[in-house]
Amino acid sequence: MDALLAKLASGCRAMSGYQTKTGSRESIAKRYLQESADRTATVLLMALRNLYGVEALYWEPETIWLSLEKDGIDLDVEARDKLQAAISIMRNPTFFWDNLVFQRTVQALNGEPYDPETLQECHPGYMAWAAYEGTLLRGMDPEDPETVPEFDEDVQQYIAVCLQRAGYVYPPNRLQMVSDNLAAMLPEESREFVANVKKSWEGLDKGALQERTFPENPLGVQLAQLSSCYLYVQEQAESLAKDAVSLDQDVDPTSV
């Protein structure tokens, strides 16, 4: 999966600038926005750009919704939240610095409702995907595609708290920048167990996780949780990759 994620990052950076508008690209973009269920925020952003050009990424939300409605596209609340979150990350990297913005963005990118008045705990798999998709979206900034900030200590601590309360002793892939934060929350006597979890996880064949079952013991529970996060990120990445390839084509695959 690491190769797929690296390829996606490279591809999104390459598509951050101007792209020639064609009838087929516009057709695919409209279809993806009309059928927005389960599509990633990155794909919705790319579709919006293909339909109206890079300048649409700087429009106010109401201008976007009105333009889409004129083209017969009525995005539901979940898709609007995803699209707004994607644009916000691309234009302003507060996602990497502020834990409240991080929380709200994680929920939006994963199609989860949120309460804007309270600080909520996010699902580990959702945080892992958002941490990765956030780097993709920053790389799509037409003005500065190379600048992807590191996560601030404030956000790292929030992630670690969510992991600890969800029962994790070792962070999932894409969230390993919080290893020290999480370790500091655990009792001294758990260090040997954490090291065992880390070694066991690193030794697993990630390509066989879909069929893998784990024993119902403390180590097995940890590995099952890490596996669930890994597979969720993989599923999202594969969906994004498939849609991104279609959006970059000059021929609508449904028309041939």
Domain boundaries, the chain: 7-248
Rounded to whole angstroms, how far apart are CA atoms 101 and 117? 12
Lowest mean pLDDT among 109-118, 178-187, 244-253: 244-253
Residue 65 near residue 75, CB atoms below 8 Å: yes
Type of residue numbered 140: M
Summarised one tens digit per residue, pLDDT across range 48-76 is 999 999 999 999 999 999 999 999 999 99
Q: Report residue 154 CA to chain centroid gap.
A: 19
pTM beyond 0.95: no
Transcribe 204-231 into DSSP letters.
Answer: S-GGGGGG----SSHHHHHHHHHHHHHH
Summarised one tens digit per residue, pLDDT across range 126-158 is 999 999 999 999 888 776 655 678 999 999 999
